[in-house]
Amino acid sequence: MDGVVAPRGQGAFDVARIRQDFPILSEKVRGKDLVFLDSGASAQKPRAVIQAMTRMMEKAYANVHRGAYHLSESATEAYEGARRAVAGFLNAADEREIVFTGSSTAAINLVAHSYGRGVLKAGQAVLISEMEHHANLVPWQMLKAAHGTELRVARVTDAGELDLEDVAAKLADGKVGLMAVTHMSNVLGTVTPAARLAEMAHAHGAKLLLDGSQAAVHRRVDVQALGCDFYVFTGHKLYGPTGIGVLWARMELLEAMPPFLGGGDMISEVTLEGFLPAPVPAKFEAGTPPIIEAVGLHAAIDYVQGIGMEAIEAHERHLVDRAMTRLSAVEGLTLIGHAQDRGGVFAFALDNAHAHDLATLLDRVGIAVRSGRHCAEPLHARFNVESTCRASFGLYTTEGEVDYLAEALGKAREFFR
């Protein structure tokens, strides 16, 4: 069942081999094979990541940027090496454009505080969409309350796509200073037309922030080709550790932005009377950064690049097609969102079972899915559903697992009959 997919023009993508890189995938759940379909919430870790972090702590650990001794120098080199790897991963023009944060949430909050209060003017607007994760909604609500920026919300169509006419209408008066939207929805799986959005935003004098928390895991991201101005993602969804996220922004934006958190490492000079901020990116990395996590993220990036983002994307496209076919055939199952361009995230509801009852059943047979509203309450309201179950794929997901899910859903419906 775990077939070998050989995408055209790529080396063979051998799922069975890849699965051996992830120790947790050989764990049993209540005696059953683990079928982990919650990678969208957080992905499992390959041995390469686990070992890189352990090795760092065993052999090369010290604080960074602070000691003139060997260990501190090698830790600094490892940390800065991770920054170079991320710059390569996003095709950033300059590695100094990479700011390490604690998560996507922390990165968006950094932009909301620094760019939001320091650069945007009260009375300007921020434009988001109905399909944002709370991480790309609440910081803008907080900015609105604190700073007087307007918050506009672009609609999502019934198919689960961004309504581009509505985006255009909401940009039209030129008051939007920043458009902040997801690059891929964590509920609908929809991939948004990022390059097009960048053009639209720029034509109306707005900057574009893309929340790449989901997208960066499934597609090759080239921030220069996309033409966006800010890009954020989070390490733990990219097979890396928790506790690290990334903010990429154009150098001139980072230079114009005031610091967010104050403390050690973010200054070039301090007296009791005041401070001079350090140059970018240190300006935004106050305090001891996530050093071990940066090393883990570096290993994760090496790992996915070793397989090839194009190969990963082709494998997942295959799984998405399979899932569309299999899930559509389950009687009584409603899929939320039918975007043309989509990734491996499927939210669904059964007509005779509540999402939590369904998740309990699936868990019984080893299938881990998320149930609830997936940190996207307004989106559930938009589609008039109380809650859904969500299956999300990773590079280790197999066709057999997709089939097993579909089979279990059919049986679950019978169970509740």
Structure tokens at 282: 């240190």
Compare residues 105 and 124 and give the one whose CB is closer to ligand PLP. 105
Distance CA 181, CA 403 (A): 32
**Is residue 392 a contact residue for ligand PLP (CB under 6 A)?**
no
User: Which among 143, 96, 131, 325 has a CA at the least distance from the CA of 215?
Assistant: 131
When CB distances are held under 5 to 8 angstroms depending on the partner's kind, the choice from ligand PLP, other proteins, none that residue 355 binds is other proteins
The item of ligand PLP, other proteins, none sharing an interface with residue 103, based on CB under 5 to 8 Å by kind, is: ligand PLP
> Scanning residues 384 to 413, which ones bind other proteins (CB under 8 A)?
386-387, 407-408, 411-412
Q: Does residue 375 carry a catalytic annotation?
A: yes
Q: Does 373 bind other proteins (CB under 8 A)?
A: yes
Alpha carbons within 13 angstroms on the beta-carbon side of residue 281 total 23
CA geometry: angle 166, 171, 173, nearest 5 deg: 120
Tokens standing for 288? 């001891």
Per residue, the 3-state secondary structure of 128-160, as one string, reads EECCCCHHHCHHHHHHHHHHCCEEEEECECCCC
Interacting stretch for ligand PLP, rule CB under 6 A, among 13-21, 133-141, 262-270, 285-293?
133-141
Residues 6 and 9: their CA atoms lie apart, in Å, by: 8
**Which of positions 312-371 make contact with other proteins (CB under 8 A)?**
353-357, 360-361, 364-365, 371
Q: How far is the CB of 32 from ligand PLP (least distance, A)?
A: 27
We find the least distance from the C-beta atom of residue 376 to ligand PLP, in angstroms, to be: 8
Instruction: Spell 345-364 as b/e; 16+ CB within 10 A means b.
Output: bbbbbbeebebebbbebbee
Q: Does 415 bind other proteins (CB under 8 A)?
A: yes
Q: Which does 361 bind (CB under 5 to 8 A by kind): ligand PLP, other proteins, none?
A: other proteins
* Residues near 351 by beta carbon (within 8 Å), at least 6 away in sequence: 332, 333, 334, 413
**Choice among 106, 215, 232, 375 that is catalytic:** 375
Residues that bind ligand PLP (CB under 6 A): 103-105, 133, 135-136, 182, 186, 211, 213-214, 234, 236, 245, 375
Residues forming the active site: 375
Residues that bind other proteins (CB under 8 A): 353-357, 360-361, 364-365, 371-373, 386-387, 407-408, 411-412, 415-416
